[in-house]
Amino acid sequence: MKPTYLEIAVPVPLRRSFHYLPPTNADINELQPGIRVEVPFGPKKVIGVLIKTTDTTHLSSTKIKPAFRLIDQKPVFHPTIFRLCCWAAQYYCHPVGEVLSTALPVLLRKGEPINKPVNRLIAKVDHANQPGLGRSPKQLALLEHLLAVNSTVASANNINADSLHQSVSEGLSKSMLSQLKVSAAVIKALVDKGYADWLPFVNTYTPFNPTNIMRQPTLTLNDEQSAALRTSDKPGCHLIFGITGSGKTEIYLQAIESVLRQGNQALVLVPEIGLTPQTVKRFQDRFQVNVFALHSGLSDKDRLLAWQQANQGSAAIIIGTRSAIFTPLLNPGLIVIDEEHDSSFKQQEGFRYSARDIAVLRGQWENIPVILGSATPALESYHNANNEKYTLSRLQQRANQASTANYRLIDIQHEKLDEGFSKPLIHLITQHLQAQNQVLIFLNRRGFSPVVMCRACGWIKNCGQCDARMTYHLTLNSLICHHCGLQSGRPPKCEQCASKQLIPLGVGTQRLEQSLLRLFPGQRVIRIDRDSTRRKGAMEKFTEEINRGEPGILVGTQLLAKGHHFANVTLVAVIDIDSGFYSADYKAIERMGQILLQVGGRAGRESKPGTVAIQTLFPNQPVLKILIDQGYEAFSRQLLNERQAYDLPPFAYQAIIRAEANELARAMTFLTHIKQNFSTKMTPLLLGPVPSNMEKRANKYRAQLLFSSNNRRQLQDALHRCIEFVETANISRGVKWAVDVDPIDLH
Ligand code: ADP
Ligand code: ZN
Ligand code: ZN
């Protein structure tokens, strides 16, 4: 049968596609999946993507509308990216139209042509020695400039869009002219004299030249590094488990080098690109090819340009954060995920995908190696390496001879704390400052479920019905079990030793900077967190100041733990670790271990030895001891044993349906409906619904229903049946709901 209808994915929060008639004058047989189509949607015009053409529709002929127009002749989607998006929409239970839209640069989402011609000012003569320019030096200068750019060669150091224009074409665009501060009058004069003119220009891109790629020679690898490099050069997924400073980045660089020599491209994902300009610089220093950094600071235009360079093979290396995983590569050669354990690779709202997991799949489909690197691999990745799904390479020495940090536990069980600081810690900080060194105070603020703990004996209230800790809810001042929903008031005293000293752990520590100024008068205190670094260039300024090396105190959150290199920091102090080890979220302990080692990597990077001081009520906590005495691998093994015993990921698969409403009851009822509809079937296990840890956010009440199964297939089936039920049964009125597959945050 002849196809008659277009099946279009529209960027709306509905888990289905929509049928349209082709626009009049379009030949439906010519249409390829992945082209953009402008269609009517309610009263609006939206940009959708053609999934396929079909000969059947459930719509009646009077209801089906024609599409307005085709935006593309050829698909904007690279076939692999299109396939990844369709897979991800299914796997993460997210509307395919929104997924496809996420994968495109903003300007393409809005329907801009992929190669929009821009007017450029072009020289119309071949030398600057023209009559009438003698007394107008500005016009002469402009003409000379126009002539010069025609022969400009690509310069790898310049990665902004305007210099790219220069490298790929001739003439100057309006924005380039305004950057050069050329006035409109000067341009007009030159045009009027017939020496220059505006011409529409379409950029063309050519693949980079693989014969001349090096700017700096490579380092000679040590044995561990060579082995890791050899292991990682085949298609498949490779975990490089190497302590901070063991030379992982050097391995990425050399792996990329051999990829580039074959004329192929490399995609590198990092957790926080805006905060690690050093990493980008290291790539640019090594290679004289186009290196693109994709980050949130880029304009939409620059992003589109980088995307095109990647798509057409002229960008050799793309370094980006999570969403860069959807960057198309003409000649894919390698994907690197640095700090693969980092939670920023999982999107936490909307389309909740894991860029790392998508990367692994992409690598399979493109038949290229995927390198995951970390000093503290995620338990899932380590588990996959143990199961030989991934290769595993260990790097256990620091590459530059720096020594590893000493860990020191400070028992605060019997200490009086001054604004959270114990006497021994204050003493230690003072010593390091007096020795003219820098001290980093690390504050863990993110993603832990608070519990209530007895200060005297360490008792924590457990649920009577489950083997789980009760989560403390500040707004309700009560404890709730996140597994069964049991709720109880905050106990007046410890049920074990009757002490009245019950303290909530893991909440509020914002006043730290003020406390430090008071505790260490006269010391410079630099606070680095999301707020203080929001301004453009702020992080660079801090980094510069810190690298001047004057003694002082740095206060930071997770941001500081990531990839920074501060030569003069000799002491890292962690003041609030118990909230991590005693969180109600079973993943918190893994994150705490990762953080401890990551911040530890900040201490003593160069010639000076480093110390990590950890304040804790429980210096004999078994997993903490394993981490410190035996290292992260032993710690991982221990946690994996526990996860296996309790049927938790990676031994089980999880998903959460989250609901949000004006009243908690409404969200809970909605989730209860879902659960009841499935209560007869035992697999997967449905836990809850319970109010979310932060049950009130932005005046909305939130609750969640957890799915858990040993079988991924069954979990997926159940989720899809639930969604179908919700979408057909009309139970979601007044409720905003979302699905989170493989959640990393169980709140
Ligand atoms: P990681 O990424 O594991 O933290 P890096 O690759 O940044 O480690 O290496 C840490 C330091 O050691 C860097 O200064 C790097 O230049 C240096 N380095 C890495 N490999 C070697 C090597 N084979 N020989 C000499 N120095 C090296
Ligand atoms: Zn319970
Ligand atoms: Zn007690």
For residue 562 and ligand 1, the question of a CB distance below 6 A is answered with: no
Statement: residue 164 has pLDDT above 50: no
Query: 689 C-alpha vs ligand 2 centroid, how far in Å?
Result: 11
39-48, 113-122, 479-488: lowest mean pLDDT where? Answer: 479-488
Strands (E), 214-259: 236-242
The model's pLDDT over 194-220, given as tens digits with 9 standing for 90+, comes to 999 988 877 778 888 999 899 998 999
Ligand closest to CA 371: 1
| Separation of CA 630 from chain center | 30
For residue 242 and ligand 1, the question of a CB distance below 6 A is answered with: yes
Q: 547 versus 101: which is more confidently predicted?
A: 101
Query: 503 C-alpha vs ligand 3 centroid, how far in Å?
Result: 11
Highest mean pLDDT: which range of 50-59, 140-149, 469-478, 657-666: 657-666
pLDDT of residue 53: 93
CB within 8 A of 494, min separation 6: which ones? 454, 456, 457, 459, 500, 501, 502
Ligand closest to CA 394: 1
C-alpha to C-alpha distance for 49 and 364, rounded to whole angstroms? 25
Q: What's the CA angle centered on 634, arms 708 and 630, to 5 degrees?
A: 150
DSSP letters for 687-734: EEEEEEEEEEETTEEEEEEEEEES-HHHHHHHHHHHHHHHHHHT--TT
Domains 5-109 and 406-449+506-643 share a fold: no
For residue 219 and ligand 1, the question of a CB distance below 6 A is answered with: yes
Measured by CA distance, the residue closest to atom 21 of ligand 1 is 399
Query: 141 C-alpha vs ligand 3 centroid, how far in Å?
Result: 81
C-alpha to C-alpha distance for 75 and 514, rounded to whole angstroms? 56
pLDDT of residue 4: 86
For residue 563 and ligand 1, the question of a CB distance below 6 A is answered with: no
pLDDT of residue 649: 95
Measured by CA distance, the residue closest to atom 9 of ligand 1 is 247
CATH homologous superfamily, domain 653-741:
Ribosomal protein S10 (3.30.70.600)
Statement: residue 508 has pLDDT above 50: no
Q: Which percentage of the chain shows pLDDT scores above 70? A: 88
For residue 247 and ligand 1, the question of a CB distance below 6 A is answered with: yes
Q: What phi and psi values does residue 614 have, to the nearest 5 degrees? A: -120, 120
Helix (H, G, I), strand (E, B) or coil at 279: helix
Q: What's the CA angle centered on 107, arms 105 and 112, to 5 degrees?
A: 130
Provide the mean pLDDT of the chain.
Answer: 86
Q: What is the mean pLDDT of residues 688-712?
A: 83
Domain spans in the chain, listed from the N-terminal domain onward: 5-109, 118-201, 223-394, 406-449+506-643, 653-741
For residue 222 and ligand 1, the question of a CB distance below 6 A is answered with: yes
Judge residue 58's burial from the number of C-beta atoms within 10 Å of its C-beta, 0-12 exposed, 13-18 middle, 19 or more buried.
exposed
The model's pLDDT over 273-322, given as tens digits with 9 standing for 90+, comes to 766 677 888 999 999 998 988 877 788 988 998 899 999 999 999 999 99
C-alpha to C-alpha distance for 459 and 192, rounded to whole angstroms? 85
The closest alpha carbon to 92, from 362, 355, 351, 356, belongs to: 351
Q: What is the mean pLDDT of residues 326-336?
A: 97
Residues in a beta bridge with 19? 7
| Token reading at 744 | 């990393």
The model's pLDDT over 655-696, given as tens digits with 9 standing for 90+, comes to 999 999 999 999 999 999 999 887 655 567 888 899 887 676
For residue 400 and ligand 1, the question of a CB distance below 6 A is answered with: yes
Ligand closest to CA 221: 1
Ligand closest to CA 488: 2
406-449+506-643: in CATH 3.40.50.300: yes
Angle, nearest 10°, between helix axes 248-261 and 223-231?
Answer: 50
Statement: residue 447 has pLDDT above 60: no
Statement: residue 377 has pLDDT above 90: yes
C-alpha to C-alpha distance for 526 and 433, rounded to whole angstroms? 14
- The CATH number that domain 5-109 falls under is 3.40.1440.60
The model's pLDDT over 236-279, given as tens digits with 9 standing for 90+, comes to 999 999 988 899 999 999 999 999 999 999 999 998 776 667 78
Measured by CA distance, the residue closest to atom 10 of ligand 1 is 245
In this structure, which residues have their CB less than 5 angstroms from ion ligand 2? 463, 465-466, 481, 483-484, 486
Query: 705 C-alpha vs ligand 2 centroid, how far in Å?
Result: 14
- The CATH number that domain 223-394 falls under is 3.40.50.300
Query: 615 C-alpha vs ligand 3 centroid, how far in Å?
Result: 19
| Token reading at 309 | 């360079």
Query: Relative to the CA of 244, which ligand 1 atom is closest?
Result: 4
Q: What phi and psi values does residue 243 have, to the nearest 5 degrees? A: -60, 160
